[in-house]
Structure formats: structure tokens, C-alpha cells
Amino acid sequence: MSILNFETAMDSEYHRVLDSLREVEEAAEDVLTTKQQIIDLDMKRNRNREALNALKNGVCPAKMKICFGNMFIKFPKSKAREMIQKDQEQLNSELNDLHKGLKANVSRLNETQGKPELSGYNLLPLSADEMKAIKSILKR
């Protein structure tokens, strides 16, 4: 083997390793970004939950001021509760999507690192109908 062939082989090996490391870095960055998005949305969901509890349990005037970005707007109490509940539903939907995406990102990261697939990681909980069916079978 000549020196030129050896250097070419080493150069291609070097680029292959760099590409592999780049793929792992991108997959890890996707996992970390998704986790941070989940944390941020969960904090917002908790603040909304606190606001709903304050509306439910607290003494609130018929019209209240709600903060939207950097301004306050007066809303009736019922309209404020309705808006916060809609926001909660949207946050729950986004969080569910992010959790599903996180599972896919972690699987991709493990695949790029050459690790085996996590067993039991893609399990889904039983639905209410499935639980009813199991309970009815167990009662027999």
C-alpha cells in the first residue's frame, strides 16, 4: 500500500468519524431542545392551573385584568376562565406531541450511537374502554 493510498484511506475514515459525531450531536441537541420546550410549557401550564384555582377559590371581582404579553386587558371573570381553560387544552396537546417527539428523538439518538433500542419505551397506557373490559373479565 502506497503512502498516498494510506493518506486517502485515513482522510475518508476521518470524514466518516466526523459525520458520525455530527449526527450524534444533532440528535442529542434535538433531545435537549425538546426537553427544554417541555419544561417551559409545563411551567406555563402550572401558572395557568394556579390562575384557574385562584378564579375558582378566590374572591375575584366580576371584571378582572389579565396580562397579555406586556399589557393588561379587563375581562369578565367567566371569559377569563374560559380563555385560560382553552390555553390549558392547547398546552396539554402541545405537551403530548412533544413527549411523543421526545421518544422518537431519544430512539434516533440511541440509533446513531449504536446502542440497542430501549425495550418497553414505546408502551402506551390502556384506554378507558380497555380497562373496563379487563375489570369485567376479572369480576367473573
Q: Say whether domain 3-113 belongs to CATH 1.10.287.370.
A: yes
What pLDDT score was predicted for residue 44? Answer: 95
> Which three-class secondary structure string do you get for the chain?
CCHHHHHHHHHHHHHHHHHHHHHHHHHHHHHHHHHHHHHHHHHHHHHHHHHHHHHHHCCCCCEEEEEECCEEEEEEHHHHHHHHHHHHHHHHHHHHHHHHHHHHHHHHHHHHHCCCCCCCCCCCCCCHHHHHHHHHHHHC
What pLDDT score was predicted for residue 54? Answer: 86
For the stretch 78-127, pLDDT in tens is: 888 999 999 999 999 999 999 989 988 998 999 998 888 777 767 778 88
For the stretch 48-67, pLDDT in tens is: 999 889 888 877 778 888 88
Over 60: is that where the pLDDT of 1 sits? no
- Delimit the domains of the chain by residue range: 3-113
